[in-house]
């Protein structure tokens, strides 16, 4: 039951309890309206947030013919922050959310991996979809485009992908479809980009980096990644980021001292999302530090 007194944190708690998740930490309610998906601050009243968001959209996009557009919205429950995620710790969260949120990132080719890693993960993805059956793998070649990163498919002939995935699928014969999801997460968890939210941006401030970059925001900080090689060029820890701002077409970030620090200016339509994610991670980091200090202080008083 959602009413006028329901806050976002109440909705998170309800979903966590119904799905029997271990914790709601890091999960968020998202509202998709027009072409934007925005997370609802946990302390906000849900319907108040919807109303203010709708008003903002209407002002930003006034109707040309004088009529008031009627914006519908969708509500999603997803993991937003991946600070404490360890595959296997919360099986329900892994199977229901983590696998399905991480899968598209792998298939879009945003992680750096080699052919053998890609084949192993493709075999796991195939098992999550088709179980023990090999029919689709051997008779429907286009299934490769649904289980192998799109930018790696041409790395070898389709028949070679099928051969290696078939062999790995046989090795994984005792694995259930749920176990395959968990194994996929355990393998990708080894990568520094696991749990990242990725953004394709155009930067105009540092000639040492390509103009077109992939930016990954995760528990490590903000990483700049080469779009072709997937190499991490640099990672800026949250503690080093002193200022940031965003608009409809940009995201700006200052690293280090406001006077002597360096700036990263990016062109992107997702600046609002980068801003919100960075704010949330840094707020969580500061909150954790303050709790640790409080605990240490209490221990010293007792001592």
- The Cα 224–Cα 159 span in angstroms is 35
Contacts of 179 (CB under 8 A, 6+ apart): none
Burial of 82 by CB count in 10 Å (0-12 exposed, 13-18 middle, 19+ buried)? Answer: buried
Other residues' Cβ atoms within 10 Å of the Cβ of residue 15: 14
pLDDT of amino acid 141: 86
pLDDT of amino acid 289: 84
Beta carbons of 105 and 230 less than 8 angstroms apart: no
- The Cα 187–Cα 120 span in angstroms is 9
Domains within the chain, CATH numbers bracketed: 8-79 (3.10.20.90), 91-188 (1.20.80.10), 200-294 (2.30.29.30)
Residue 253 three-state SS: strand
pLDDT of amino acid 66: 61
pLDDT of amino acid 64: 63
pLDDT of amino acid 67: 63
pLDDT digits (tens, 9 = 90+) for 40-84: 999 999 999 999 988 887 777 766 666 666 678 999 999 999 999
Contacts of 202 (CB under 8 A, 6+ apart): 211, 212, 213, 266, 267, 268
Q: What angle do CA 154, 160, 163 make, to 5 degrees?
A: 140
Whole-structure pTM value: 0.91
For residue 166, give both structure tokens: 């078939």
Helices and strands per DSSP (H, E), number in the chain = 9, 10
pLDDT of amino acid 301: 66
pLDDT of amino acid 63: 64
User: Which residue is associated with the tokens 């240490």?
Assistant: 296
Q: For the chain, which ranges sit under pLDDT 50?
A: none
């Amino acid at each position: 039951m959602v009413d006028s007194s329901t806050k976002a944190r109440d909705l998170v708690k309800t979903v966590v309890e119904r799905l029997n998740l271990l914790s709601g930490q890091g999960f968020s309610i998202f509202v998709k309206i027009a072409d934007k998906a925005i997370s609802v601050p946990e302390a906000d009243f849900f319907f108040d947030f919807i109303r203010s968001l709708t008003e903002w959209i209407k002002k930003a996009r006034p109707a040309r013919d004088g009529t008031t557009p009627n914006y519908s919205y969708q509500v999603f429950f997803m993991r937003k922050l991946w600070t404490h995620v360890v595959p296997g710790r919360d099986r329900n969260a892994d199977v229901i959310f983590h696998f399905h949120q991480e899968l598209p990132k792998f298939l879009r080719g945003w992680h750096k991996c080699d052919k053998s890693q890609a084949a192993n993960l493709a075999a796991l993805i195939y098992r999550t979809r088709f179980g023990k059956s090999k029919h689709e793998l051997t008779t429907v070649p286009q299934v490769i485009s649904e289980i192998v990163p799109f930018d790696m498919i041409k790395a070898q002939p389709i028949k070679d992908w099928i051969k290696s995935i078939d062999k790995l699928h046989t090795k994984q014969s005792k694995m259930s479809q749920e176990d395959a999801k968990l194994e996929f997460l355990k393998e990708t968890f080894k990568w520094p980009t696991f749990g990242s939210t990725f953004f394709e941006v155009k930067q105009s401030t540092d000639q040492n980096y390509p103009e077109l970059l992939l930016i990954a925001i995760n528990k490590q900080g903000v990483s700049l990644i080469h779009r072709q090689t997937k190499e991490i060029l640099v990672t800026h820890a949250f503690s080093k980021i002193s200022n940031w701002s965003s608009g409809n077409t940009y995201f700006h970030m200052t690293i280090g001292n406001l006077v002597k620090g360096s700036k990263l200016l990016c062109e992107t339509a997702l600046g609002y999302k980068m801003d919100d994610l960075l704010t949330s991670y840094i707020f969580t980091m500061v909150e954790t530090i303050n709790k640790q200090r409080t605990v240490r202080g209490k221990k010293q008083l007792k001592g």
